[in-house]
Amino acid sequence: MISAGDFRNGITIEFEGNVYQIIEFQHVKPGKGAAFVRTKLKNIINGGVVEKTFRPTEKCPQARIDRKDMQYLYSDGDLFNFMDTETYDQIALNEETVGDALKFVKENEMVKICSYNGSVFAIEPPLFVELEITDTEPGFKGDTATGATKPAIVETGAKVMVPLFVEQGEVIKIDTRTGEYLSRV
């Protein structure tokens, strides 16, 4: 059990029969009346965001989220296959569960599979990936005075905005949380 006074960003709780992750919290102490905790909660199963207020002494059970490293093997139609590298057990997840988490992940790379009570609800790709650019327009000298960008397609098929000096065939580093270009490799 965790009291509302101990809420922090990223903590997962069970509340009203659902599992929520705390996105934002704020301890409010009004001049008149009792203090309370204002929170923004994200339902980890369906992705909905709700706002709730708690008394600081209210307690909620803390939800246990299992994160397991697995290797992304391949996609087969609308199923994505993953393998546990320790036990060699394989699981197949549908497109709805995966979402666009794999748009920067190549086959045979490691990802984290997040599950609650044995049911998978999310996939966390590595924070940074290195991918080759398969298609982009050539940049021209003197095109700009300050950091302009152009679209580029990487080997996984995702579209990334890159600086004008980046050419086709180069390997770049990408932040998977934001989808932004970081540097050339």
Q: How far apart are CA 145 and CA 44, in angstroms?
A: 44
The pLDDT, as a whole number, for residue 123 is 84
Q: What is the pLDDT of residues 72-126, one digit of tens each?
A: 898 888 888 899 888 988 888 888 778 778 888 888 889 988 888 877 877 888 8
Task: Tell whether the model's pLDDT for residue 146 goes beyond 70.
Answer: no
The pLDDT, as a whole number, for residue 142 is 60
Instruction: Write out the two tokens for 132.
Output: 């080759």
The pLDDT, as a whole number, for residue 115 is 84
Radius of gyration of the chain (CA): 21
The pLDDT, as a whole number, for residue 149 is 84
Q: What is the pLDDT of residues 17-57, one digit of tens each?
A: 888 888 889 998 988 888 999 999 988 877 788 999 998 88
- 56 in the same domain as 32: yes
- 113 in the same domain as 140: no
Q: How far apart are CA 71 and CA 88, in angstroms?
A: 10
pTM of the model: 0.69
Domain count for the chain, please give it: 3
CATH code of residue 71? 2.40.50.140
Cα dihedral 100, 106, 108, 113, rounded to 10, equals -20
- 27 in the same domain as 71: no
- 117 in the same domain as 85: yes
- For residue 102, give its domain range: 66-124
- 164 in the same domain as 150: yes
Task: Tell whether the model's pLDDT for residue 131 goes beyond 80.
Answer: yes
Taking alpha carbons only, the member of 136, 177, 138 closest to residue 159 is 136
Amino acid (1-letter code) at residue 86 = E
The pLDDT, as a whole number, for residue 53 is 92
Beta bridge partners of 130: 173
DSSP labels for 72-116? Answer: EEEEETTEEEEE-TTT--EEEEEHHHHTTTTTT--TT-EEEEEEE
The pLDDT, as a whole number, for residue 119 is 79
Instruction: Write out the two tokens for 178.
Output: 């934001």
Instruction: Write out the two tokens for 81.
Output: 């296959």
Q: How far apart are CA 108 and CA 7, in angstroms?
A: 37
Q: How far apart are CA 116 and CA 9, in angstroms?
A: 18
Q: How far apart are CA 66 and CA 70, in angstroms?
A: 12
Q: How far apart are CA 103 and CA 123, in angstroms?
A: 11
Of 60, 84, 109, the domain-final residue: 60
